[in-house]
């Protein structure tokens, strides 16, 4: 697996390999929960404000300069099929599978009723694109796009 900078990964799960930082910066990252061997799930990625990651139950914002100094490897390949980001408001889709990712997010989505075979309608997208609202099983649900990227979809007519 190729070693990447955290700033190069847009979504998915990664494992921290090392830091290219001075001891003070590295110690601060360790205090925040970012240590070699940690599994991170990228929740948001913005070229200007940095990367928001989940490390266990913690959410950590990493500025762009620091994200370039964190060496990671992907724990999964990006899903090549259709995801919720490919839909527009009013589109209907069926869940055909779940991508690999942090099991906590997969379990959360499945506990909310988002299981293979379930059909839903994308009803709204927030002005900045995140979160999205879907109508599923008779109720409305808001999802972060990064979490919903675990869903493999098939667009319905």
Q: What whole-number distance in Å separates Cα of residue 124 and Cα of residue 145?
A: 12
Q: Is residue 125 part of a domain?
A: yes
Contact at 8 Å (CB) between 25 and 69?
yes
Model-wide pTM > 0.85: no
Q: Is residue 67 part of a domain?
A: yes
- Write the CA distances from 18 to 4, 15, 52, 80, integer angstroms: 10, 9, 18, 28
Q: Is residue 11 part of a domain?
A: yes
Number of compact structural domains in the chain: 2
Give the domain extent around 56: 4-74
Instruction: Indicate if 97 and 151 belong to the same structural domain.
Output: yes
Instruction: Indicate if 152 and 94 belong to the same structural domain.
Output: yes
Q: Is residue 91 part of a domain?
A: yes
Q: In tens digits, what is the pLDDT along the chain, a chain of 157 residues? A: 688 999 888 877 788 888 887 778 888 888 888 888 888 888 788 878 888 888 776 788 888 988 998 999 887 654 556 778 788 899 999 888 776 655 567 777 778 888 778 899 999 998 887 889 999 988 899 988 777 777 888 888 8
Q: Give the model's pLDDT for residue 105.
A: 72
């Amino acid at each position: 697996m190729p070693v990447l900078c955290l700033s190069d990964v847009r979504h998915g799960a990664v494992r921290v390999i090392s830091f290219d930082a001075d001891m003070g910066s590295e110690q601060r990252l360790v205090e925040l929960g970012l240590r070699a061997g940690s599994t991170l799930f990228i929740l948001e990625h913005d070229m200007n404000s940095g990367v928001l990651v989940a490390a266990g139950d913690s959410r950590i914002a990493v500025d762009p300069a620091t994200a370039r100094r964190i060496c990671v490897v992907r724990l999964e390949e990006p899903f090549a099929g259709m995801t919720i980001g490919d839909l527009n408001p009013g589109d209907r889709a069926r869940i055909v599978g779940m991508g690999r990712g942090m099991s906590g997010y997969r379990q959360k989505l499945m506990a909310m009723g988002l299981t293979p075979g379930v059909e839903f309608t994308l009803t709204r997208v927030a002005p900045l694109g995140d979160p999205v609202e879907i109508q599923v099983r008779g109720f409305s649900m808001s999802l972060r796009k990064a979490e919903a990227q675990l869903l493999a979809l098939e667009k319905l007519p």
